[in-house]
DNA sequence: CGAATAGTTGAGGTGGCTCAAATTTTGTGG
DNA sequence: CCACAAAATTTGAGCCACCTCAACTATTCG
């Protein structure tokens, strides 16, 4: 549960005992395999799900039968968009790599946030940051190169925020295309452009950033919308549970 | 303050006395004229702003110098995206018609939500619905006709939710273009297409829906993301203050 | 080792853009 | 109430970013 604890600490001043109590309410579900839906559309539920390991995406099937990815999710993220507040389930969540999740009953969340308001505040803030990300993606209408570069920047920053250093992005071109709303063909060609520009590694099959500054420049990326100013990645929480980390596929 | 009261009542079970106390904390600022910024970018503040009358938009100037509208705001909406929770100010808000707003100190919000948790819950829900709207817009990549139809559907539903009946949308084509991320030229041509299709009135300069069902069909609109299932528009709150209503320009 | 899945390349089509100008409507000051 | 400026709407013409369709080639995985 490291990921969740780390995140909540960033969001508000929360006492260790509060975090411990919160974490204790979760039950863990492991080994969700790539391609499986973590959350399915339509059925409202009595519990919330937090991603603990792996990488997932929130998505929706749109008119033409295509998958539109709305956001990527990293360890510590609430998969179901805080369904305990608003039970709307108009999107699904899919595991892009093997995943583990934590599950907590809505009524347990209610109980503990009533008891520890600062925990509720942290959760609220989390919903706001999610909203920021959606807002930022909206400023779509960017040309493909900039759009993709921007998406890559966001993923790098979010990976760093959960302690995954290294500039390799564990997503396929298909995933990125579905997220950017571009065809895979055009995604591929633009990735190649970025490789030509020296921004991504050329030899590797994986998507690896080799020139961060230039990427940021192309993307006109200003990461403040991610609200990750705090916590410079070191002094991470040391509350309970076994070692975790995002698993880098490909 | 009708608009705000009505909205909060929809979002949670809040006692009248709680609403009264909340409303009493606002000070009102009237006669903000069309074109003026209600919220400017960059400067974080110590208070929050609620739109009471008129129509505003949250926007951002993007790379090419163009205005990207992220969402429209109606009476009762928090202009600054609940800045008391997350002080990020990466967007501005502009009055699209003459507006009135209410202003409340962050610390007053803190005080009263601590005292009345159900009020805090209502506010939290409100942030979630805002996020839903951003999410829905993201599923951009729709062809222009569908995209615009969808936007119109949303505005009609939101207008109805605040008690403005009638199917006339008080926005210019320029505003709609900036929101849809389309050129005004293409917006104009698509509006004309909708007129040809009998969905919008032909003679009027204003944008008036004449065939709702067909519009919904074109848009593939499913309004559930707006979370307005409650309150069938009649029995509106009767708490204090003078008559208000959105002013329909054009 | 065969079957998916992911990545790459080519060719041709089109939705929405830009530039440019005309027309209509709205707002303002006299 | 009129005249003029500013804003909104409309129309035409040419262009290009990104799409679709259709292979073919690596890779991964059971």
Q: Per residue in B195-210, pLDDT tens?
A: 999 999 998 899 999 9
Interface of B with A (CB under 8 A): 60, 62-63, 68, 70, 81-82, 85-86, 88, 90-91, 114, 117, 120-121, 124-125, 127-132, 134-135, 137-142, 146, 181, 220, 222, 224-225, 227
CA A230 → CA A212, A238, B116, distances in Å? 21, 17, 30
H-assigned helices in A79-222: 106-115, 117-138, 144-161, 173-180, 184-196, 212-219
Q: Are β-strands B99-105 and B92-95 bridged in parallel, bridged antiparallel, or unpaired?
A: unpaired
What does the alpha-carbon distance between residue A22 and residue A16 come to, in Å, rounded to a whole number?
Answer: 10
What does the block give as tokens for A51? 């991603």
Instruction: Break chain A into its structural domains and give their ranges.
Output: 2-137, 144-249
pLDDT classification of B44: cutoffs 50, 70, 90: confident
- Residue to mutate among A62, A141, A186, A229, with most B CBs inside 10 A, is A141
Chain length of chain B: 250
Q: Per residue in A144-153, pLDDT tens?
A: 999 999 999 9
**DSSP three-state, residue B71:** strand
Q: At what angle do helices A117-138 and A106-115 cross, to 10 degrees?
A: 120
**CB < 8 Å to A137, chain B:** 138
What does the alpha-carbon distance between residue A190 and residue A196 come to, in Å, rounded to a whole number?
Answer: 10
- Helices (H), strands (E): how many in chain A? 8, 9
Whether pLDDT at B229 is above 70: no
What does the alpha-carbon distance between residue A249 and residue B54 come to, in Å, rounded to a whole number?
Answer: 51
Nucleotides of C under 7 A from a protein CB: 5-11, 15-20, 25-27
Interface of A with B (CB under 8 A): 60, 62-63, 68, 70, 81-82, 85-86, 88, 90-91, 114, 117, 120-121, 124-125, 127-132, 134-135, 137-142, 146, 181, 220, 222, 224-225, 227
**CB < 8 Å to A120, chain B:** 120
pTM value is 0.89
Whether pLDDT at B95 is above 90: yes
pLDDT classification of A140: cutoffs 50, 70, 90: low
Task: Give Cβ neighbours of residue A30 (< 8 Å, ≥ 6 apart).
Answer: A100
B222: how many CB neighbours lie within 10 A of its CB? 12
Q: Per residue in A58-91, pLDDT tens?
A: 999 987 888 999 999 999 999 998 998 998 888 9
Is the Cβ–Cβ distance between A237 and A5 less than 8 Å? Answer: yes
Distance B154 CA to C20 C1' (A): 34
Contact A86 B128 (CB under 8 A): yes
Secondary element (H or E) of residue A57: strand A56-61
What does the alpha-carbon distance between residue A15 and residue A9 come to, in Å, rounded to a whole number?
Answer: 9
What does the alpha-carbon distance between residue A151 and residue A176 come to, in Å, rounded to a whole number?
Answer: 8
Which of the pair, B215 or A117, is modelled with greater confidence? B215
Question: What local confidence, expressed as pLDDT, does residue A70 receive?
Answer: 94
Beta partners for residue B246, in sequence order? none
- Give the number of C-alpha atoms closer than 13 A to the C-alpha of residue B247, restricted to the C-beta side: 18
pLDDT classification of B145: cutoffs 50, 70, 90: very high
Quick one: which of A177, A73, A191, A173 has its CA closest to A133?
A: A73
Q: Per residue in B162-175, pLDDT tens?
A: 988 888 999 999 99
What does the alpha-carbon distance between residue A248 and residue A170 come to, in Å, rounded to a whole number?
Answer: 6
**DSSP three-state, residue B5:** helix
What does the alpha-carbon distance between residue A39 and residue B67 come to, in Å, rounded to a whole number?
Answer: 36
Give ∠ CA A145-B67-B185 in degrees, rounded to 5.
85
Chain length of chain A: 250
For domain A2-137, the CATH architecture is Sandwich (2.60)
Mean per-residue pLDDT, B36-59? 92
What does the alpha-carbon distance between residue B208 and residue B191 come to, in Å, rounded to a whole number?
Answer: 11
Task: Give Cβ neighbours of residue B133 (< 8 Å, ≥ 6 apart).
Answer: B71, B154, B225, B226
What does the alpha-carbon distance between residue B164 and residue B171 come to, in Å, rounded to a whole number?
Answer: 14
Footprint on protein of nucleic strand D, Cβ below 7 A: A 64, 143-145, 147, 181-183, 185-186, 190, 205, 249-250; B 172-174, 184-185, 188-189, 191-192, 205, 250
pLDDT classification of B239: cutoffs 50, 70, 90: very low
Nearest CA in chain B to A60: B139
CATH 1.10.10.10 correct for A144-249: yes
DSSP 8-state symbol, B146: H
Whether pLDDT at B52 is above 90: yes
Beta partners for residue B71, in sequence order? B58
CA B88 → CA A6, A138, B49, distances in Å? 21, 17, 14
For chain A, give the mean pLDDT. Answer: 88
- Residue to mutate among B12, B129, B130, B141, with most A CBs inside 10 A, is B141
């Amino acid at each position: 549960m490291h990921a969740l604890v780390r995140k909540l600490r960033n969001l508000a001043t929360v006492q260790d005992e509060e975090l411990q109590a919160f974490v204790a309410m979760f039950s863990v579900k492991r080994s969700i395999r790539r391609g499986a839906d973590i959350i399915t559309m339509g059925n409202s539920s009595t519990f919330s799900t937090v991603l603990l390991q792996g990488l997932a995406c929130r998505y929706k099937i749109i008119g033409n039968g295509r998958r539109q990815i709305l956001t990527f999710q990293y360890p510590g993220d609430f998969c179901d968009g805080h369904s305990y507040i608003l039970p709307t389930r108009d999107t699904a969540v899919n595991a892009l790599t093997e995943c583990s999740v934590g599950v907590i009953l809505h009524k347990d969340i209610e109980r503990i946030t009533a008891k520890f308001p600062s925990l509720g505040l942290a959760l609220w803030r989390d919903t706001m940051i999610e909203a920021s990300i959606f807002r930022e993606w909206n400023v779509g209408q960017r040309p493909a190169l900039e759009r993709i570069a921007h998406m890559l920047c966001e993923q790098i920053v979010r990976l760093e925020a959960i302690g995954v250093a290294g500039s390799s992005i564990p997503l396929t071109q298909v995933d990125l295309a579905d997220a950017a709303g571009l065809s895979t063909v055009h995604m591929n060609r633009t990735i190649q452009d970025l490789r030509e520009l020296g921004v991504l590694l050329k030899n590797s099959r994986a998507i690896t950033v080799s020139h961060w500054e230039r990427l940021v420049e192309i993307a006109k990326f200003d990461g403040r919308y991610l609200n990750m100013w705090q916590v410079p990645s070191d002094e991470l929480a040391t509350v309970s549970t076994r070692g975790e980390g995002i698993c880098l596929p490909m």
